[in-house]
A and B are shown apart, each in its own frame.
Chain A
Amino acid sequence: MAAPATRTPRSRSRAARLLPVLGVVPFLAYLAVFLVVPTLTVVVGAFVEDGRPSLAVVRDLADPAVLGSLANSLVLSALTAVIGGVVGALLAYAVVTGPADGALRRLVTSVCGVLAQFGGVTLAFAFIATLGISGVVSVWLDATFGTGLTSSTWLFSLRGLVLVYAYFQIPLMVIVFLPALDGVRVQWREAAENLGASTWQYWRLVGLPLLAPAFLGSLLLLFANAFAAYATAAALVSQGNPIIPLWIRSALTSEVVLGHANFAYALALEMVLVVALVMTGYSLLVRRTARWLG
């Protein structure tokens, strides 16, 4: 966009030109205090020990227990991204093949909009009421199939988290992937059919290659979403730190994790790095997607 500042008469002083910028200062100051400074605090604090620069805190990230939960976090995020991505893409395709402004499509997009926001404590309790020790479905499954769910704590383990995270990952996938599916033109399909392509050939040679960047981008987004999630796991898992966010909880609530006050900073830095890496990949893929499916 051309800045109107270039049209400013030369007679006006530099001060007069800078004056309008002052209108944005309260906003910038607010974000500096509540967003930029905290983020910088984390980055700097991870390299400080007892007021002196040090690598000791960051080195503690190599602790086997911490590395283990980092691995768990990565696996959990990747797994739920793939599950949410595949199921969400199928659901989005089921919706997109219907009428473009039909009731079904409106319903699914509205519901997904709500459910993608839905997480945390309430989601944890939804699954406790369903598959917990006295959950409705576990009681029924035990009585009908003798599964033994009512005496198992699997819901509160990593496997349980995979299932629970799917509940917000699938709707998110529908929301972010639907526009890409909308970008696929009917004419491409017709052209392929006129050239004698079968359904399978169309998908393998045209449809999937076109959708691949959008799909991969959505997977990265889902990955970051799961990696950054905290409240659901915090409400569900009360013992141990199977994933990184729960390590951060311990570091914040107990005074002496590994004897370092700044350990929470190091863990948070680790989280920022992973998310930043993933989001960079995402924005690159989005740019690529826009070429065909914009």
Chain B
Amino acid sequence: MSARSPRRAARTRLQVFRVVVLVLTGAFFVVPLLSMLDFSTRLFNADGRTGAAWALLVADPLLRGAIGTSLLLSLLTVVGMLVLLVPTLVWVRLRVPRLGRAVEFLCLLPLTVPPLVIIVGLTNVTAWLSYLFGDTATWLAFLYVVLVLPYAYRALDAGLAAIDVVTLAEAARSLGAGWLTVIVRVVVPNIRTALVSASFISIALVLGEYTFASLLNFDTLQVAIALQSKSNAQESVAASLASILVAALLLVGLSFVSGRRRTGRGAVAAGVAPVPAGTAPPVPEEPR
């Protein structure tokens, strides 16, 4: 070999490979997003730009109503998820650890059962819900709690694992605290980051949910975007881009929140990733 060592040549090849891969995949992911921005602001019969489609997002009654519905649903889902999951997970850790695996399995189950299948099987339940609560989208929150369960579970479970729940609870109990006080005043303040993570991911998922709402004929944000595309394509593209940006902000915020405490690799993935590396099954969901 000549003056250039094979090792240095290999390193150069690796650098070239990295740049090529990053640029190509980067382009694949960025081009559709830029296209949305361009498409939604384009004037089709003249040169120049217009913000008309973006202005419609707040002016259009259908979309405005849908945004309200989706925000209300996110709020209800977050509340329902926290009320259902936090006491259960704390209780399991403190009093019935032998049920831990079963609870974990149930929480991750929605990842393996496609949302479409759940909705097919839910027809009887939804008939009851609309009988009890009327023809309003708000009871969708009951179903969304199940949808966000795996993601919320992982965030909360990681938060609880990071503190010594048993010792904290024993200390509080020996000072005379009741179980409610233990959960609300001792455990909850200690897992604040986990609560925020679980809430953020739930909001992002609910804002992006389409399957349940469209098959049950409720005008949530995503359903309204799809409906609106038939009359105004630019408006629906603007709405899509806006909802992507909101979801991205939430999820990036989440990665910061969860990354701050346990810095280092895996922190981001632990919060957002659909699958725990190394643990048993379940799949992602995604609002696809």
Roughly how many angstroms separate A230 CA and B251 CA in the complex, as a whole number? 22
Within 8 A of B (CB), among A250-287: 252-253, 264-265, 267-268, 271-272, 275-276, 279-280, 282-283, 286
- In-complex Cβ contact of B146 among A34, A117, A166 (8 A): A34
Query: Which of chain B's residues have a CB closer than 8 A to the CB of A37?
Result: 121, 124-125
B283 contacts A221, C-beta separation under 8 Å: yes
Q: Could you mark each residue 163-182 of chain B with 1 if its beta carbon is under 8 Å from any beta carbon of chain A, else 0?
A: 00000000000000000000
Contacts of B145 in A (CB 8 A): 30, 34
**Residue of A42, A179, A272 touching B278 (CB-CB under 8 A):** A179
Asked whether, in the complex, the Cβ of A231 is within 8 Å of the Cβ of B210, the reply is: yes
Interface contact A136-B88, CB-CB below 8 Å: no
Which A residues lie within 8 Å of B40 (CB)?
129
Q: How far is the CB of B258 from chain A (nearest CB, A)?
A: 10
| Nearest CB on B from A113, distance (A) | 3
Complex contacts, B118 vs chain A, CB 8 Å: 34-35, 38-39
Q: Tell whether B54 is near chain A: CB-to-CB under 8 Å.
A: no
- B13, chain A: closest CB distance, angstroms: 9
Asked if A136 and B273 make an inter-chain contact with CB atoms under 8 angstroms apart, the answer reads no
Question: Interface of chain B, helix or strand or loop or mixed?
Answer: helix
Q: Is A24 an interface residue (CB 8 A)?
A: yes
Given contacts A91-B25, A113-B269, A117-B272, contact A125 B225 (CB under 8 A): yes
* CB <8 Å contact, A122 and B146: no
* Closest-CB distance, A224 to chain B (whole angstroms): 5
Whether B116 pairs with A228 at a CB distance below 8 angstroms is yes
A38 pairs with B210, CB closer than 8 A: no
Q: Is the CB of A26 within 8 A of B222?
A: no
The segment from A61-69, A146-154, A169-177, A205-213 that touches chain B is A169-177
B210, A1: Cβ atoms under 8 Å?
no
Q: Which residue of B lies closest to A23 (CB)?
A: B91
Of the candidates A3, A118, A121, the one whose C-beta lies within 8 Å of that of B97 is: A3
Digitize B102-114: 1 where CB-to-A-CB distance is under 8 Å, 0 elsewhere.
0100100110111
Chain A residues within 8 Å of B215, by CB: 249, 252-253
Cross-interface CB contact of A129 among B21, B39, B259, B269, cutoff 8 Å = B39
Q: Does B84 contact A26, Cβ atoms closer than 8 Å?
A: yes
On chain B, the residues within 8 Å of A225 by CB distance are 274, 283-284, 286, 288
Q: Given contacts A114-B272, A229-B288, are A23 and B208 in contact (CB under 8 A)?
A: no
**B117 pairs with A271, CB closer than 8 A:** yes
Inter-chain contact B121/A126, CB cutoff 8 Å: no
Question: Which one of B30-38, B71-79, B154-162 is at the A interface?
Answer: B30-38
- Knowing A224-B283, A228-B114, say if A97 contacts B18 (CB, 8 Å): yes
Q: A265 → chain B, closest Cβ, in Å?
A: 6
Is A135 an interface residue when CB atoms closer than 8 A count as contact?
yes
The answer to whether the Cβ of A130 comes within 8 Å of any Cβ in the partner chain is yes
Q: Which of B18, B255, B283 touches A113 (beta carbons < 8 Å)?
A: B255
> What is the bound-complex CA distance between A33 and B129, given in angstroms?
11
Which residue of chain A lies nearest to B210 when distances are taken between CB atoms in the complex? A231
Please state if B210 and A121 are interface contacts (CB–CB under 8 Å).
yes
Question: When chains A and B are docked, how far (Å) is the Cα of A110 from the Cα of B257?
Answer: 12
Across the interface, B268 reaches (CB within 8 A) one of A109, A126, A176, A279, namely: A109
Most buried by A among B84, B117, B122, B252: B117
Question: Are A24 and B268 closer than 8 Å at their CB atoms?
Answer: no
Q: Which of A20, A42, A90, A228 has the most CB of B within 10 A?
A: A228
List A residues 5-41 near B (Cβ within 8 Å): 5, 20-21, 23-24, 26-28, 30-31, 33-35, 37-41
Question: What CA separation (Å) do A5 and B273 show in the bound complex?
Answer: 35
The 6 closest A-B pairs by CB, nearest first: A38-B121, A113-B272, A228-B114, A229-B288, A119-B288, A179-B277
Cβ contacts A to B, 5 pairs, < 8 Å: A23-B87, A97-B18, A113-B272, A127-B32, A221-B284
Interfacial residues, chain A to chain B (CB-CB below 8 A): 1, 3-5, 20-21, 23-24, 26-28, 30-31, 33-35, 37-42, 45, 87, 90-91, 93-94, 97-98, 100-101, 104-106, 109-111, 113-123, 125-130, 134-137, 166-168, 170-172, 175-176, 178-180, 182, 199, 221, 224-225, 227-232, 234-235, 245, 248-249, 252-253, 264-265, 267-268, 271-272, 275-276, 279-280, 282-283, 286, 289-290, 294
Other than the given A126-B32, A126-B244, A225-B283, 17 more pairs (CB < 8 A) read: A35-B113, A40-B121, A94-B17, A109-B268, A114-B252, A114-B272, A119-B286, A125-B36, A126-B237, A126-B241, A130-B39, A136-B38, A167-B32, A231-B287, A248-B120, A275-B114, A290-B278
